[in-house]
Chain A
Amino acid sequence: MRIILKPIVNSLNFIRTPRDLWRAWRGNIQLWANLFVIGWAVVFMLWQGAGFAVTVGTVFAIWAMLAVSLNLVVGFTGLLSVGHIGFFGIGAYSMAVLSSNPEYEQLRTEALTTFAWPFFAALPVCVLLSGVVALAVGVVFNRFRDDIYVLVSFGFAIIAFNVFLNARSLTRGAFGIHEIARPQIGGWTLNGELQFLLFVLAILAVVMLIAWIIVTSSFGRVLTAIREDEDAIEVFGYQATQYKLAIWVISAMIAGLAGGLFASWTSFIDPFSFILLESILLVSIVILGGLATIWGSLLGAMAFVLLEEGMRFLPFLPAEYIGQARQVVLGILLVLLMLFRPQGLVGKYKL
């Protein structure tokens, strides 16, 4: 809101005509980006009705959660990780294995051991497991920087995907896992789309609050300093490796949380939701929205979801090409952003 209100407040003194307002707003890309994306969303809502929000809202919330978590690492700490989808997958698979219905499994030829835990018992495990894996991975990754870090994080995504696909005794490989539990509060199961949407949005709000607390604390300030000059901040007594490890684990835990929600929402997962490409898309969401702002990640995720929905209505584009066409658009957007606005739409940090 501040981004929209600030220029108005600043310019109240000399604005006499709408033309002055236009002048005050003209160069403000942040403002226009916000207005454009939110306006786009509103137009869709008015056009398609409230049901539109229910269909795309959950996808948006899960992408937004992931984007916020990745922004903590990429935007605030300056570690360009392309492997975040691995933690998302770990969260999703732990939710699937823990909460999938064993009765269904008995019908399969290759039965997995699943536990039929309730959703709320499994969710903390998703978060913790992602955190533990992140701790181990982070200890190794901490010694790399810049482009080597990118390469290694590619590696993490690929290794994670290989495990999901090939550790068949744990994940049933390409066939996936079915009948994953929906959240249950008392005797009330959140089966409806709208109920689930509200639940996910509530969790998104909590995640944003946590992220906000982190980035505005002293810890967050040190992270930005690490991003700018790791050697310099060490001289002032901060152990950069510990800080990097801490934020990496926190971020992975949020991604694991998103994974658990995703598994529960779709109630069926297979490894192909966690391929490297999704991770690249996630990075482009974060960069598109804006580095080092939480709001930017939300904006990026919203733009990403709306892009897909918007393409549905292009008459010359066959339905099966929508995903690919969106990638083309995202790729070109990424190039344009890097050329003219390396901090993303509303970002505060230039790569």
Chain B
Amino acid sequence: MYRLREDYGTTLAYSLAVAAALYVVWKITQSPEQALQFTFNGLAVGAVYALIAIGFTLVYSTVWFFDLYYGAAAALGAYGVFYLRSFDTLGGRYEVNEPILNAVFALVTAGVAAWAMHEAFGARLRQRGTSRITIRAIDGVVGTAAGIYMWFVLTFPVLMTALLSPAVGVIVAVVVCWLLYRAYRYVLFDASAVPVVILGAVIGCAIGAYIGRLIFQTDGAGLYLSWAVSCLLAGIVGLALYRGLYAYMRERARSPLVMLVASLGILLAMTAFTTIIFQSAPRPLPDAFGSEPWVIAGANLKGFNIFTVGVSIVGFIALLFALKWTTFGKAVRAIGDDEEVSKVVGINTTVVIAIVFFVGAVYAALGGILSGHDTAIQPRMGLLLLLKGWIASVVGGIGNLYGALLGGFVLGMIEQFGIWDLAGEWKDAISFVLLILFLSFWPNGILPRR
């Protein structure tokens, strides 16, 4: 009896899938241009969903609860870009230059920078006998500096390129230096480090200075810098929420539903806060790549759409590599399998999970920004984008990174082909009907986790 019912369900599911495929084929024969157009749109929308689903999956498969903050992160990213670039959008900066908001973000940045400083170097300094007060002072100085810098960036967005290009240069220099040092250590692991550090510093500084200058001189670099700053902000807020809230709750072993409700509260508060500052009406973001579409076989394709798909795939590959081939990735997977055991074998779970939260929020913010450039932004976009990302990860297979990418594109395509005969307003209903079908017939998604 039980088996009979299961067979019946599977048959129904496959016939539904076949019917959908036949419908698509029929539509393609009816009007190939239109089908191509819908495919382009589906890929562009799907790329955004995929980005959000990837970040979401990363976090979910590590800590096993649904963090609704990711909706707020998407909106935060998009509004960050709007805020930083609003001198060249409609409305103008005078509407939204909020000293309080700048101060709040500067404070958050300062706090997180001080914490990061403490986590990274505090223990080592303590081992060398530095007094606790000195360490606190160093943390404070670093935090204050970061906060003031952030405040400058937010308050004078016109000067952003000038302010940020040195920072990018410094970051590049540090990364290059570190990479050289690691490569050297890999080859000659017991030789003296002094020559390579000096050499690395010189090379790193040179490359960093060059890149900084390049950014400063390039027109339009400001937009991408504003993307970076917004993503960073969203990531920092995600990290701060983890440290201040979720870590505390996880210590007390609160159930996943409690965390979900708490993150719902955060989403509610942040959405309303955004509405108070920016009003609820939709706002446009400045055009990224010009709005003139290319015409391919009768279908319009915007350069930006290709870029979106590219970003999502690059983001996916980067995360995949990070998870597969670095110590950090191994630690993340270990925590996802069993947090207690990973703690016992000496993984610093707090730091690893904090980084995971940061990265997840950055992906969500990137998704929000890309979707904002494509359409328009409004404060409540976050919740809907989040739900779509959530659906995409269910469709692809919860907890599976490949599934998240695939699910995003599948959801985008189905949404677009679904509104061919129905009106466009039914898009959200279609994706939720898809969700319920998937949960009923393929609860594990297209690519089940292991």
Contacts and interface: CB of A to CB of B under 8 A. Distances in A.
The answer to whether any beta carbons of A and B sit under 8 Å apart in the complex is yes
Interface of A: 80, 140, 143-144, 146-148, 150-152, 154-156, 158-159, 162-163, 165-166, 276-277, 280-281, 283-284, 287, 321, 323-335, 338-339, 342, 350-351
Contacts of B259: 338
Given A143-B440, A324-B275, A328-B273, A334 B429 contact: no
Given A154-B387, A331-B267, A351-B255, A147 B65 contact: yes
B104 to A, nearest CB: 13
Given A166-B426, A283-B264, A339-B248, 11 more contacts: A140-B436, A146-B256, A151-B435, A152-B435, A159-B432, A323-B272, A325-B272, A331-B267, A338-B258, A338-B261, A339-B262
B268 A338 contact: no
Contacts of A335: 245, 262, 265-266, 269
B159 interface: no
A351 B272 contact: no
Interface residues on B, range: 35 or more
A331 B272 contact: yes
A159 B435 contact: no
Given A150-B66, A284-B268, A333-B265, A158 B428 contact: yes
A79 B125 CA distance: 50
B330 interface: no
Interface of B: 65-66, 245, 248-249, 254-262, 264-273, 275-276, 380, 383, 387, 390-391, 394, 423, 425-426, 428-429, 432-433, 435-436, 439-440
B270 A277 contact: no
Contacts of B391: 151
The 9 closest A-B pairs by CB, nearest first: A331-B269, A334-B265, A327-B272, A155-B432, A331-B268, A338-B262, A162-B429, A324-B272, A335-B265
14 contacts: A147-B260, A148-B394, A150-B260, A151-B390, A151-B394, A152-B435, A155-B387, A158-B428, A159-B432, A165-B425, A283-B264, A328-B273, A339-B245, A351-B261
A350 B257 CA distance: 10
Contacts, number: 125
A159 B261 CA distance: 22
A350 B261 CA distance: 12
A350 to B, nearest CB: 8
A147 B432 contact: no
Contact of B261 (A148, A155, A156, A287): A287
B249 A338 contact: yes
A150 B390 CA distance: 11
B334 to A, nearest CB: 23
B276 A338 contact: no
